[in-house]
A and B are shown apart, each in its own frame.
Chain A
């Protein structure tokens, strides 16, 4: 049988040769995926362009650190769930198993499926402003009509959204095998690009940056003294004054925390665990992967912000974002700091290469857009909530045709609305909120786990992690509920987030209503077919 003994001194367990006894995976790998999910370039830098205008008195740097600390508790709570019920289905499985089948479906369908239709045009917009626009501008390409500016037109936004959807759909179809390898290369390439920017911002003075900025802006857009013009344009915005980079005041800084969730809330995005012999080391492994990814992102962000302050000038960065947000910027392009850093080297080829290298942060990340949706659709179809066809995969091409339709068609439709209806853009601010609600119910599941699934909890390595005799994971669950509760309260009551607009709330409400309708219809249709969906998660008595 070729058995194996496990234990450092006296063996504490013996394993015999049997299927599925795998070794723990590389923590470094899961750290990389967590870091790509909390993407400091595609999400953080993109979000900062909105954060400063919304809360000009808040301190981004401090709020990033506060958010990092707070989200660390979410990481602990999710690590607890992962080692207790290690299923690839994530929130859907945890919530259906611990809370309720219907509730789990509604939360997973809205948070991991419907809302991702809305993320498609957001991804598309990020691709526009961080890839197409800066490259077109740098190379002074005039095709299609208007050159770089075309990507900001209705048709431009729609076309780039379609490219993004096609790319994400293709990656779902061909599988994760090759893409996972590609993601790692993207991560290392992206880090290299970041290192180049760090060196550029470190070795150049503020004066050198101002001169370079003015020179390149003049060369590309024919603007004189673009640096001063940007500051001047922002100074005319009523009620706005730039602040210095620092640590306070706390009040407005805390209001930035819900904004930071746009990038920092996702270290748990790909958390999975395989293997049957689980112990405390697995908890540490899962925790380290997510925690490492989260704090690498925080560290990169802090370094980047400090360097912006040193070389570009913090007030200028805020002004550029303010002017762009209020559509008064003299620059006809989104204020992408990577583009600006590249201008320190007066060579178009170098600038384009730098943008291309930094775009690896996007291409290593875009494939995850619809992956979770496929899992939820498949899981719901196997639970008979969705029609069987939703989980069908074509024999020849191995393409999940129907689930792709369920993901792609609504995403295309919403991208069209996003592109051609400017009011709808504001609905995308719901994108983080809906997923946060899903996470909230998983946090509630963590807190209730020791009471609802006593045996499961007692057998979990997570229950053994204690501080001063108190189990850490449920406490982390409570802190996570606090984090998400605070965010939800602010999103829903503070107008500055644009989330509580009436049509926006109606849009979100429709998503939840759709999920509830799907579940209720499925429940009764299946009942007429003689299938009782309430049996899916009903526990068989042991005795």
Chain B
């Protein structure tokens, strides 16, 4: 069975479209997105009389036709931001009213995911190509139900899934980060969450762990060391491990066949942990490039036949 695994596309519509095309492109049987589906940035496009105006990466853009507006929206979505069309008054309300940005963010995220799932339906031939999604620590909880209800995508969070004789368990939760995101828990709670599903796995020799957090201290979890104000220390030259000890301990203890991770975008890499092959394909969603891992599993011998990290 050939799997394409990608992660952390953070609202990039370019990456989502590539993800949907990945099965055909790489001749994969199954595509998996390992969490952090939603974006972090919202860019207001101000609707004035007769034109729209926005600022993208420091450049002010004026649009006078609907076509120009659509093109700018496409570019904004492509890089993982949400275009939010607002009137000047709405922009004032957004920036001055407590909680208004969060509300609008949620709205844009849900609206965007809804469109993405519609696209998936067509691209995945109504579920003919296997597609698995789960949340990541940056994803709001509201998306779970939405993905769950999609007919062509399987929502994996907290479940044991059977994949042609292999078992996959998934968890989008991570150990605490400096940003206090949605799905974070202390290490002991993470360990308990993992154990709760790991005990259901019938054969660890045929198991796949799909955990958003990478295992601690494995080189798959190296992020720039930050000071108290979240500024990279020493000119960004110093990295430090920030992965989860609970994830690491669970891999060491259970020795699944394969373990796929995300969360730390800079830490693209592969690590052998005893019998387990652990992979973090990393993410450069902002460039519109979909990093991923092509993994070929041998069902007869229950082993990873081959793998390749790609920049699609």
Chain B contacts with A in 215-230, Cβ cutoff 8 A:
217, 219, 223-226, 229-230
Bound CA–CA A465/B88 (angstroms): 28
**A349 CB to closest chain B CB, in angstroms?**
33
The residue in A20, A180, A383, A535 that gathers the most chain B C-beta atoms within 10 A of its C-beta is A20
Q: Is the CB of B312 within 8 A of A184?
A: no
Given known A29-B234, A33-B237, contact A459–B94 (CB-CB < 8 A): no
Q: Is the CB of B231 within 8 A of A3?
A: no
Q: Is the CB of B101 within 8 A of A3?
A: yes
CB neighbours (8 Å) of A177 from chain B are 225, 238, 240
Which of A15, A398, A532, A543 has a CB less than 8 Å from the CB of B40? A15
Which of B26, B44, B137 has a CB less than 8 Å from the CB of A13? B44
Bound CA–CA A391/B46 (angstroms): 49
Interface of B is mostly: mixed
**B87 CB to closest chain A CB, in angstroms?**
12
CB neighbours (8 Å) of A279 from chain B are 57-58
Q: Is the CB of B236 within 8 A of A272?
A: yes
Given known A3-B105, A272-B236, contact A17–B179 (CB-CB < 8 A): yes
Bound CA–CA A47/B17 (angstroms): 53
CB neighbours (8 Å) of A18 from chain B are 10, 40, 138, 179, 181
Bound CA–CA A18/B79 (angstroms): 16
CB neighbours (8 Å) of B187 from chain A are none
Which of B18, B238, B266, B288 has a CB less than 8 Å from the CB of A459? B288
Binds B, one of A4-12, A68-76, A407-415: A4-12
Bound CA–CA A474/B209 (angstroms): 45
Mask, A64-106, CB within 8 Å of B = 1, is 0000000000000000000011011000000001000000000
Chain B contacts with A in 286-312, Cβ cutoff 8 A:
286-290, 294, 296, 305-306, 308-312
Say whether A273 faces chain B, with CB atoms less than 8 Å apart: yes
Say whether A203 faces chain B, with CB atoms less than 8 Å apart: no
Which of B40, B219, B309, B310 has a CB less than 8 Å from the CB of A276? B40
Say whether A530 faces chain B, with CB atoms less than 8 Å apart: yes
CB neighbours (8 Å) of A11 from chain B are 44, 91, 94-95
Bound CA–CA A97/B291 (angstroms): 12
Chain A contacts with B in 176-228, Cβ cutoff 8 A:
176-177, 180-181, 183-184
Bound CA–CA A87/B59 (angstroms): 24
Bound CA–CA A20/B63 (angstroms): 32
Q: Is the CB of A16 within 8 A of B40?
A: yes
CB neighbours (8 Å) of A276 from chain B are 10, 40, 80, 265, 286
**B276 CB to closest chain A CB, in angstroms?**
13
Q: Is the CB of A541 within 8 A of B58?
A: no
Chain B contacts with A in 168-225, Cβ cutoff 8 A:
177, 179-181, 217, 219, 223-225
Q: Is the CB of A17 within 8 A of B237?
A: no
Say whether B246 faces chain A, with CB atoms less than 8 Å apart: no
Q: Is the CB of A19 within 8 A of B105?
A: no
**B7 CB to closest chain A CB, in angstroms?**
12
CB neighbours (8 Å) of A183 from chain B are 234
Q: Is the CB of B21 within 8 A of A540?
A: yes
Say whether A384 faces chain B, with CB atoms less than 8 Å apart: yes
Say whether A517 faces chain B, with CB atoms less than 8 Å apart: no
Report how many residues on chain B are interfacial, defined by Cβ distance under 8 Å.
83
Q: Is the CB of A30 within 8 A of B288?
A: no
Say whether B154 faces chain A, with CB atoms less than 8 Å apart: no
Say whether A143 faces chain B, with CB atoms less than 8 Å apart: no
CB neighbours (8 Å) of A184 from chain B are 234
Say whether A392 faces chain B, with CB atoms less than 8 Å apart: yes
Q: Is the CB of B101 within 8 A of A21?
A: no
CB neighbours (8 Å) of A537 from chain B are 310-311
Say whether A467 faces chain B, with CB atoms less than 8 Å apart: no
Which of A5, A25, A391, A456 has a CB less than 8 Å from the CB of B231? A25
Say whether A542 faces chain B, with CB atoms less than 8 Å apart: yes
Say whether A519 faces chain B, with CB atoms less than 8 Å apart: no
Bound CA–CA A120/B73 (angstroms): 52
Say whether B30 faces chain A, with CB atoms less than 8 Å apart: no
Bound CA–CA A383/B307 (angstroms): 10
Binds A, one of B110-118, B144-152, B267-275: B267-275
Given known A12-B55, A274-B224, A535-B26, contact A22–B231 (CB-CB < 8 A): yes
Say whether A270 faces chain B, with CB atoms less than 8 Å apart: yes
Say whether B75 faces chain A, with CB atoms less than 8 Å apart: yes
17 A-B residue contacts at CB 8 Å?
A: A14-B84, A14-B101, A19-B263, A23-B229, A25-B232, A30-B235, A85-B287, A176-B237, A180-B235, A276-B10, A276-B40, A378-B269, A391-B219, A392-B272, A455-B14, A537-B310, A542-B14
List 4 extra interface pairs beyond A1-B106, A464-B58, CB under 8 A. A15-B42, A17-B179, A85-B287, A541-B21
9 residue pairs, one from A and one from B, having the closest CB atoms? A29-B235, A180-B234, A540-B312, A12-B55, A280-B58, A30-B235, A1-B102, A3-B101, A18-B40
